[in-house]
């Protein structure tokens, strides 16, 4: 290692804010540090490719010839100097890091093409700096990342013999920086090939014709304020980065280390769950604070909301306590994504919701608002949320409408402490919505087919109904988990086959509408993969023995009513299920109507419409 760790000591060398219009050649004559409290390197390949192409398109014409008199401006960076004279980057690290990686890629491309990089290029990557105390020259890379997630990957790339895969770390920053290097090498190869002169000339164009404005402040606090001002006026970063900056402004410097670590916990948790930070912040606000549900809050307004409500959130008076709340909420958010409750225990209703909702997260507003509930009450809430959310989905309610409902209900949910409180909450909000949508629910099941809903949701519906019959029949905890009905060993079976033999199609009474009837809900069931392969595309009579062999009572009952003793739970579970000797359009319609009635029971639909309009 050539560098020593820069210390984060901001010095007030001047009382003024200075700005310099610099070429990249002038920029990389200095040394830069990305402090350990800064956000990690988050640019993906799209952002890197866009920067490289924008630079090239500005400096070269359509035939690849340099446009001599053109300059390209890449924006501004905000920094302050530390005790060793290096610039601490407060804003602009994504661009500075990416361009530094590009310089390394140019050097390596020239060497791989059999050339030798010019001395200015080498010095833009690494040079000696003079220690202000000893006066000795210390070899140092031009850009140093101090946050832990970098794991030394930039130094590997910048070294004379870069080890592209040298680090064992698999952090977001390591992944993104390596990808940035690969993007740069691919860009150079596609644009200049093995032409050493062209690669050297491109470095010259970068050095003299790409420019930025470097804003230097007297100290770190001033740099943070300038950063906030620039980005608040539309130049910059997303709400997550701006909120972090606001917290640093309001946190004593002695607590920076704790704040940095807590913030990293949040970002690591969300990244590990593959969740979008802005969506998390948006729903966090809806769940924990009263807002105008009709207007809602857009992602673009998140940071403005936090600034306007800093006192309410505790950002200005207790920033670390506020961050602790975000840490707690991000942890339970990750649990919800994984189908677990707030304590990390598997929750069957949340697992079901995951199978139903896909990447939708509107219901997390209610889950976050109810995270304080004891496990039993939280589980009850989750069960009601599943029923209502499915009702919204099957009735094709606009997501904005039920998002507004959840936002409006969250304040009351946060205050619930007892089972009676929760029952009252459900009766006042969930039940009227279910009642209002009761007719639409019935109509949806009358018309339901694979042409009207995503296949993953159809699997959820069939799995949920199959599971319900099994649980009613056996009362065994092993039937509580829906995933056993969703795994690869279970398939959606088309009773009227998808690819019928000629005689099967000809025997169907509505030949001209065969595809439509084949996709209808009444024609579908779950069947184990081996049995499904065996029954194949034959006639109903040929398939019937396979249905009898299924372990699923809902599938068995298509051809026979299972019976165990007299008036047993099994007999009661299958009592209302229809059996068929032949399979035609009327059979499909009858079974669809029967399943529609069963669906009302499965998802707790009230018998009568108990309300209208929104609560």
Answer positive or negative: Cα dihedral of 104, 105, 111, 117.
Answer: negative
Rg (CA), the chain: 31
Q: Is residue 112 pLDDT above 80, yes or no?
A: yes
83: its two tokens: 């005790």
Pick from 592, 564, 569: nearest CA to 469: 569
pLDDT band at residue 608 under the 50/70/90 scheme: low
CA separation for the pair 138, 125 (Å, rounded): 14
Q: Three-state DSSP class for 509?
A: coil
Residues 274-310 pLDDT 10s:
898 989 999 999 999 988 888 888 888 898 899 899 9
CA separation for the pair 540, 538 (Å, rounded): 7
Residues 446-458 pLDDT 10s:
999 999 899 999 9
pLDDT for 242 equals 80
220: its two tokens: 């770190």
Strand partners, 20: 214
DSSP H or E stretch at residue 216: strand 210-216
pLDDT for 96 equals 92
Q: Is residue 613 pLDDT above 50, yes or no?
A: no
549: its two tokens: 């062999």
560: its two tokens: 């026979």
Residues 345-349 have a mean pLDDT of 94
pLDDT for 386 equals 97
Neighbours of 5 (CB within 10 A): 11
Residues 475-479 have a mean pLDDT of 76
Q: Is residue 29 pLDDT above 70, yes or no?
A: yes
Residues 474-498 have a mean pLDDT of 88
Helix 196-209, helix 45-59: angle, nearest 10: 90
CA separation for the pair 79, 214 (Å, rounded): 7
pLDDT band at residue 582 under the 50/70/90 scheme: very high
pLDDT for 346 equals 93
pLDDT for 83 equals 75
Strand partners, 214: 20, 77
pLDDT band at residue 489 under the 50/70/90 scheme: very high
Strand partners, 126: 141
Domain boundaries, the chain: 18-232, 249-446, 449-602
Q: Is residue 604 pLDDT above 90, yes or no?
A: yes
pLDDT band at residue 233 under the 50/70/90 scheme: very low
Q: Do residues 594 and 615 make contact, with C-beta atoms less than 8 angstroms apart?
A: no
CA separation for the pair 265, 384 (Å, rounded): 31
Mean pLDDT of the chain: 87
pLDDT for 85 equals 79
Bigger pLDDT: 242 vs 193: 193
User: What DSSP letter does each residue of 530-594 carry, written as one string?
Assistant: HHHHHHTT--HHHHHHHHHH-S-HHHHTTT-----SSS-HHHHHHTT----SS-SHHHHHHHHHH
Q: Do residues 239 and 276 make contact, with C-beta atoms less than 8 angstroms apart?
A: no
pLDDT band at residue 7 under the 50/70/90 scheme: very low
pTM, 2 dp: 0.68
């Amino acid at each position: 290692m050539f560098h020593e760790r820069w210390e984060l000591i901001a010095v007030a060398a001047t009382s003024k804010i200075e700005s310099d219009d610099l070429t990249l050649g002038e920029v990389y004559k200095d040394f830069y540090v990305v402090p350990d409290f800064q956000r990690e390197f988050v640019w993906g390949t799209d952002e890197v490719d866009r920067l490289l192409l924008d630079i090239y398109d500005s400096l070269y014409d359509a035939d690849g010839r340099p446009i001599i008199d053109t300059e390209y401006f890449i924006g501004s960076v905000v920094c302050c100097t530390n005790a060793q004279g290096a610039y601490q980057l407060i804003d602009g690290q994504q661009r500075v890091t990416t361009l530094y990686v590009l310089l390394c890629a140019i050097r390596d491309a020239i060497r791989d093409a059999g050339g030798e990089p010019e001395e200015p290029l080498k010095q833009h990557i690494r040079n000696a700096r003079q220690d202000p105390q000893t006066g000795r020259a210390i070899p140092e890379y031009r850009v140093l990342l101090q946050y832990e997630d970098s794991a030394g990957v930039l130094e590997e790339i910048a070294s004379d013999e870069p080890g592209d895969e040298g680090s064992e770390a698999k952090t977001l920053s390591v992944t993104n920086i390596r990808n940035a290097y690969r993007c740069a090498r691919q860009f150079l190869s596609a644009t200049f090939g093995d032409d050493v002169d062209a690669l050297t000339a491109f470095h010259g164009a970068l050095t003299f014709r790409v420019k930025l404005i470097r804003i230097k402040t007297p100290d770190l606090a001033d740099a943070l304020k300038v950063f906030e001002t620039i980005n608040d006026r539309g130049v910059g970063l997303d709400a997550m980065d701006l909120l972090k900056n606001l917290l640093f402004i309001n946190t004593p410097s002695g607590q920076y280390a704790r704040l940095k670590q807590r913030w990293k916990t949040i970002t690591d948790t969300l990244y590990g769950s593959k969740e979008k930070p802005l969506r998390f912040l948006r729903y966090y606000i809806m769940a924990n604070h009263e807002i105008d549900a009709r207007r809602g809050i857009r992602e673009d307004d998140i940071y403005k909301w936090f600034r306007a409500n800093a006192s309410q959130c505790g950002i200005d008076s207790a920033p670390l306590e506020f961050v602790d709340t975000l840490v707690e909420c991000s942890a339970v958010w990750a649990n919800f994504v994984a189908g677990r409750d707030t304590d990390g225990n598997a929750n069957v209703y949340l697992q079901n919701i995951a199978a139903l909702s896909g990447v939708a997260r509107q219901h997390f507003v209610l889950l976050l608002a109810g995270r304080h509930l004891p496990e039993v009450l939280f589980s009850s809430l989750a069960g009601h949320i599943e029923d209502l959310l499915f009702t919204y989905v099957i009735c094709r309610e606009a997501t904005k409408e039920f998002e507004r409902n959840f936002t409006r209900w969250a304040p009351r949910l946060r205050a619930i402490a007892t089972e009676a409180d929760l029952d009252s909450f459900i009766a006042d909000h969930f039940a009227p919505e279910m009642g209002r949508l009761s007719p639409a629910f019935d109509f949806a099941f009358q018309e339901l087919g694979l042409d009207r809903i995503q296949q993953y949701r159809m699997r959820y519906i069939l799995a949920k109904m199959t599971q319900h019959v099994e649980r009613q029949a056996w009362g065994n905890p092993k039937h509580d988990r829906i995933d056993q009905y969703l795994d690869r060993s279970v398939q959606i079976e088309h009773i009227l086959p998808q690819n019928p033999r000629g005689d099967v199609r000809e025997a169907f009474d509505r030949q001209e509408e065969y595809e439509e009837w084949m996709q209808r809900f009444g024609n579908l069931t779950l069947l184990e993969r081996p049995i499904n392969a065996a029954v194949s595309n034959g006639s109903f009579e040929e398939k019937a023995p396979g249905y009898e062999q299924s372990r699923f009572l809902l599938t068995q009952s298509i051809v026979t009513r299972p019976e165990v003793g007299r008036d047993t739970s099994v007999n009661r579970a299958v009592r209302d299920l229809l059996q068929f000797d032949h399979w035609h359009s009327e059979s499909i319609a009858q079974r669809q109507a029967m399943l529609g009635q069963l669906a009302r029971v499965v998802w707790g639909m009230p018998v009568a419409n108990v309300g209208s309009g929104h609560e």
